């Protein structure tokens, strides 16, 4: 098989605060192939966004720092590039779409100005060619009257329209990887579906790999080829959508799925919740990070940190007891 497009190895990003060092991302490794759609899920503060920011090298010193790791993209280690080279990668090879489209556009410039700026930064074209590319990009994201809209300011747009503009901007330079950091969180549900479908379609046409960060399991279920679940700065389970959704191996994934409303399963009285709160990232618990919240924790879980390994079911999982537990057959909520 060909080399992966993105190869992250043992990435560690720490933030120094007054209380101590926050290990926001602590030893994350994964690969994304060209054209693959990868979902990253987890609770708030589990390091999803920091992972994305680290790949783009948008973590700002002195507050945060990538301590160790390797981010290989298209054969180059991004962490070793100069800032000038990195600026070419950002927006050119890797594009990023942000959570809140209401604030991600600069209010003092027109939509057209901002699209053209991005295109001129990364492509060797004249201003009028850049304009044409921008209009095509707006057409592609199904914004009506693209030529006219170029002269509009962001405040004249609704949230969904702005997110379309952000997608147009992200895809205008034909990136190989699109990182979408909770792109639909700020939108209402009907718009969410439209935006996700649009992104899916455009990424597929261009064979762009997508790294979709979200805490919405419903979004990844319909959208992603593979899913990785993060907890407290590391990956606890990774597999295909089917594997994760129908046969979770890690108790945390199992808990997350239980907390989700589903139409295809029998109605429950109450939704399950994962008890407790995410651990401190300054002094993480010894042993399994999830141990203190886990219904199945045993002595070994309190002593040794489980590593990500191949489970019998196919996916990778970081749990000492994944092989002996048959989570599929345990009714959610039965243990609590």
Partner 1 sequence: MTERESASEAILDVAEGISAEPITQWDLFVTRLRRHRLATIAFFYMGFIGFVALLAPLFTCQKDDTFCGRGPVEMSGLTTVLMLATALLVGYFAYRSFVSKLRGMAVALTFVTVVLGIFLVSSWGLLDVPHVNHYADQLPDESGRILVNIAPRGSIPLGTDDLGRDVLARVIHGGRASLAVGLVVGALVALLGTVIGSLAGYYPGVVDQSLMRFTDLVLGLPLLPVAIVVGRVLPELQFLPGFLKQGAWGIAVLVGLLVWGALARIVRAEFLSLREKEFVEAARAAGASDRRIIFRHILPNALSPIIVQTTLIVGTAIILEAALSFLGFGVRPPIPTWGGMAASGASIAVRGFWWELVFSAGALISTVLAINFIGDGLRDALDPTQTIERK
Nearer to partner 1 by C-beta: 56 or 221? 56
Listed ranges 73-81, 89-97, 189-197, 295-303: which one lies at the site for partner 1 (CB under 8 A): 89-97
Signed CA dihedral, 50, 53, 54, 58: sign only: negative
Q: Which of 70, 109, 225, 247 binds partner 1 (CB under 8 A)?
A: 109
Per CB under 8 A, contacts with partner 1 among 132-191 are 144-145, 148, 151-153, 155, 166, 169
Which of the residues 51 through 80 are near partner 1 (CB under 8 A)?
A: 56, 58, 62
Q: Give the dihedral of Cα atoms 295, 299, 302, 305; nearest 10 deg.
A: -100
Judged by CB, which is closer to partner 1: 153, or 245? 153
Residue from 104, 167, 180, 219 binding partner 1 (CB under 8 A) = 104
The four Cα atoms 86, 87, 93, 94 give a dihedral, to 10 degrees, of 90
Cβ at position 112, least distance to partner 1 in Å: 12
Selected range binding partner 1 among 105-113, 209-217, 284-292, 322-330, rule: CB under 8 A: 105-113
CA distance 242 to 42: 17
Q: Is 220 helix (H, G, I), strand (E, B) or coil?
A: helix
Which one of 1, 108, 189, 334 is in contact with partner 1 (CB under 8 A)? 108
- Rounded to a whole number of angstroms, the minimum distance from the CB of residue 203 to partner 1 is 17
Of 155 and 270, nearer to partner 1 (C-beta) is 155
Q: How far is the CB of 135 from partner 1 (least distance, A)?
A: 17
Rounded Cα gap, residues 199 and 116, in angstroms = 21
As given in the structure block, the two tokens for residue 116 are 């053209």
Min. distance of Cβ 38 from partner 1 in angstroms?
18
Task: State the nearest-atom distance from the C-beta of 241 to partner 1, in Å.
Answer: 27
- HSE (side-chain half, CA atoms, 13 Å) at 243: 20
Q: Which member of 7, 13, 118, 214 binds partner 1 (CB under 8 A)? A: 118
The DSSP line for 126-138 is: -HHHHHHHHHHHH
Torsional sign, CA 12, 229, 334, 326: negative
Instruction: Yes or no: say if 41 and 252 are a contact pair by the CB < 8 Å rule.
Output: no
Minimum distance from CB of 214 to partner 1 (Å)?
A: 17
* 209 in Cβ contact with 30 (< 8 Å): no
Report d(CA 50, CA 31) in Å as an integer.
17
Among 12, 23, 37, 90, binds partner 1 (CB under 8 A): 90
Decide if 298 contacts 306 (C-beta within 8 A). Answer: no
**Which of 95, 180, 196, 211: binder of partner 1 (CB under 8 A)?**
95
**What minimum distance in Å lies between the beta carbon of 110 and partner 1?**
9
The position carrying tokens 């497009």 is 5
- Min. distance of Cβ 90 from partner 1 in angstroms? 4
- Verify binding: residue 99, partner 1, rule CB under 8 A: yes
Q: Is 331 exposed, middle or buried (0-12, 13-18, 19+ CB in 10 A)?
A: exposed
Among 88, 136, 283, 286, binds partner 1 (CB under 8 A): 88
Least Å from the CB of residue 293 to partner 1: 32
Q: Is residue 192 left, alpha or beta, with left meaning phi > 0 and alpha meaning psi from -120 to 50?
A: alpha
- Encoding tokens for residue 3? 């080399």
Cβ distance to partner 1 smaller for residue 119 or 235? 119
For partner 1, the binding residues (CB under 8 A) are 56, 58, 62, 84, 87-92, 95-96, 98-100, 103-109, 117-118, 121-122, 144-145, 148, 151-153, 155, 166, 169
């Amino acid at each position: 098989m060909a080399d992966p497009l993105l190869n992250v190895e043992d990435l560690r990003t720490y933030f120094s605060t007054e209380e101590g060092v926050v290990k926001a991302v602590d030893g994350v490794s994964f690969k994304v192939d060209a054209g693959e759609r990868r979902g990253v899920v987890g609770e708030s503060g589990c390091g999803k966004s920091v992972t994305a920011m680290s790949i783009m090298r948008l973590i700002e010193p002195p507050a945060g720092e990538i301590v160790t790791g390797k981010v290989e993209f298209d054969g180059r280690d991004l962490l070793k590039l100069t800032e000038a080279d990195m600026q070419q990668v950002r927006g050119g090879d890797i594009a990023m779409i942000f959570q809140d489209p209401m604030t991600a556009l600069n209010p003092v410039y027109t939509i057209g100005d901002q699209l053209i700026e991005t295109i001129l930064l990364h492509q060797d074209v004249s201003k009028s060619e850049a304009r044409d590319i921008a209009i095509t990009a707006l057409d592609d994201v199904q914004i009506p009257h693209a030529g006219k809209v170029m002269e509009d300011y962001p405040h004249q747009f609704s949230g969904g329209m702005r997110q379309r503009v952000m997608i147009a901007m992200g895809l205008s330079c034909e990136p190989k990887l699109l990182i979408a950091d909770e792109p639909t969180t700020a939108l209402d549900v009907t718009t969410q579906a439209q935006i996700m479908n649009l992104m899916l379609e455009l990424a597929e046409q261009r064979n762009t790999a997508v790294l979709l960060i979200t805490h919405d399991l419903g979004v990844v279920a319909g959208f992603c080829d593979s899913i990785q679940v993060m907890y407290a700065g590391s990956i606890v389970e990774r597999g295909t959508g089917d594997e994760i959704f129908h046969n979770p191996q890690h108790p945390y994934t199992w808990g997350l799925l239980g907390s989700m409303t589903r139409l295809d399963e029998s109605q429950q009285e109450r939704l399950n919740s994962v008890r407790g709160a995410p651990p401190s990232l300054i002094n993480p618990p010894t042993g399994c990070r999830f141990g203190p919240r886990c219904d199945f924790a045993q002595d070994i879980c309190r002593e040794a940190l489980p590593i990500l390994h191949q489970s019998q079911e196919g996916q990778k999982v970081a749990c000492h007891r994944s092989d002996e537990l048959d989570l599929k057959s345990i009714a959610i909520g039965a243990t609590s």
